[in-house]
Amino acid sequence: MGSLFEKLQGIGKALMLPIAVLPAAALLLRLGAPDVLNIPFITKAGGAVFDNLALIFSIGIAVGLAKDSNGAAGLAGGIGYLVLTSAVKAIDETLNLSVLAGIISGIEAGVLYNRFHAIKLPEFLGFFGGRRFVPIVTAGASIILAAIFGVIWGPCQAIIHAVGEWIIGAGVFGTFIYGVLNRMLIPVGLHHILNSFIWFVFGEYANPTSGVVATGDLNRFFAGDPTAGMFMAGFFPMMMFGMPAVALAMYHAAKPENRAKIGGMLASVAFTAFLTGITEPIEFLFMFLAPALYGVHAVLTGLSLSITYSLGVLDGFGFSAGFIDYVLNWGLATKPEMIIFIGLGVGAVYYVIFSWAIRHFDIPTVGRYDEGAAESVADENLSDFSEKILVALGGTENLAEVSNCVTRLRLIMKDNDKVDEPTLKAIPGVKGIIRKGQALQVIIGLQAEQVANEIRSQQK
């Protein structure tokens, strides 16, 4: 299970690189739209990303999986995708791997890069050794994959289409299940894998103007599908109103003498959730303190999605369900004004439940008992914070791999026994850790990338 978690953690981390381009693309797409600035070439610029999403995934995932994030892996991923899709089409024109082709090619290229990037060939073939060999072997592997998928993908495509249609057709129930699973996978960082299928694979829409076929809820939403957005709209009430309400409940549950200390921190994470839709800084404040309460949060998220959909609200986002995306995508949404009213109700429910649970079960949330709990990385130099984490991890010599996503360090350890877990958890600014085999995640918030970069700089 530990090895499986490491592999899934790697894929989840790699997915973040191509997904990171979507906010910029969505911004261009919306700013150039007729209902905003009406500048067609800006819309086309943003649309280019969505039209080539599978290729971008193949490049981004390959780079994300490569041990040293080398561009040769990205080149191999792009070549693998082009070979795979062209060869499959030559076998059967009706086959369409869509974004899955990009994901498969990216994983293939990343794995092959890690295996062959230092290969040595005979002297007369020396030019093609090392990293130059990776695109070659990836192209060869893609030909083999194309031969396999050309035979098996017809039935697989039918099954995936049927599953997607069932999930979409399940309506209220489907959105509820997705909302619950989305939050339940957050602690282990595997929600990106689930999101990739829902947002980029399930469901199809052919743009009547360009003829381009878009797949997945997010992709179809920005392609103009009037039925898309059912798996995204419900996140707006939870992220813009529910999570800030949780922060407010924690503030009111804290000791009066501690509220001045924690007020700024809680206001910051609440505003981050409202504005950008990044909720992990709040969620990790109670996720490990009260797992059952986090389970309630997952159910409430599912209910937010199902209620929003049942009221006919459809909306989408390029990054996350925050106020920025809410404003930008107003013109594409269906009944976007309802999100405010739903959000107020969702916020009230969150506040009542969390206020009651924190006091009734005496949950030691920030400011209730530990006066030092309000400390944050802002109170000290970031380099000092990184150094403390590095020491608790057993030093650079104990790190096999170092990477990050938005709010957490993703690490592969050489020796788990050298990790000082109590010290690591006690570092102000560390909100939690997750361990599976040699894989270790350290949740630290939005400064994760800077900390990862500083730790990597110490390895050189």
CB 63 within 8 A of CB 74: yes
Which residue type is seen at 322? G
pLDDT at 371: 45
State both tokens at 174: 């489907």
- φ/ψ of 225, rounded to 5, equals -70, 115
pLDDT at 406: 73
Q: Low-confidence residues of the chain, pLDDT below 50?
A: 371-380
Alpha helical stretches, state H, 364-412: 382-392
405 is catalytic: yes
pLDDT at 13: 76
**Residue tagged 């981050």 (tokens):** 272
Fold (topology level) of 375-459: Gyrase A; domain 2 (3.30.1360)
d(Cα 399, Cα 456) in Å, to the nearest integer?
10
Ramachandran assignment for 216, one of left (phi > 0), alpha (psi -120 to 50 degrees), beta (any other): left
pLDDT at 372: 45
What DSSP line would sit under 63-100, residue for residue? HHHSTT--HHHHHHHHHHHHHHHHHHHHH-TT---HHH
How far CA 57 is from CA of 2, 79, 226, 433, in Å, comes to 26, 12, 25, 28
> Which H helix or E strand runs over 165?
helix 133-169
- φ/ψ of 168, rounded to 5, equals -65, -40
**Residue tagged 């689930």 (tokens):** 194
Q: What is the pLDDT of residues 241-282, one digit of tens each?
A: 999 999 999 999 999 998 998 899 899 999 999 999 989 889
d(Cα 185, Cα 193) in Å, to the nearest integer?
9
Q: Which of 227, 248, 409 shows the shortest CA–CA distance to 312? A: 227
> Which H helix or E strand runs over 304?
helix 291-310
Q: Which of 59, 357, 405, 433 is catalytic?
A: 405
pLDDT at 84: 97
Give ∠ CA 30-23-32 in degrees, rounded to 5.
Answer: 20
Q: Where are the domains of the chain?
A: 2-172, 173-373, 375-459
CB 413 within 8 A of CB 437: no
Strand partners, 404: 409
- φ/ψ of 432, rounded to 5, equals 165, 165
CA 8 to chain CA centroid, Å, is: 13
CB 212 within 8 A of CB 50: no
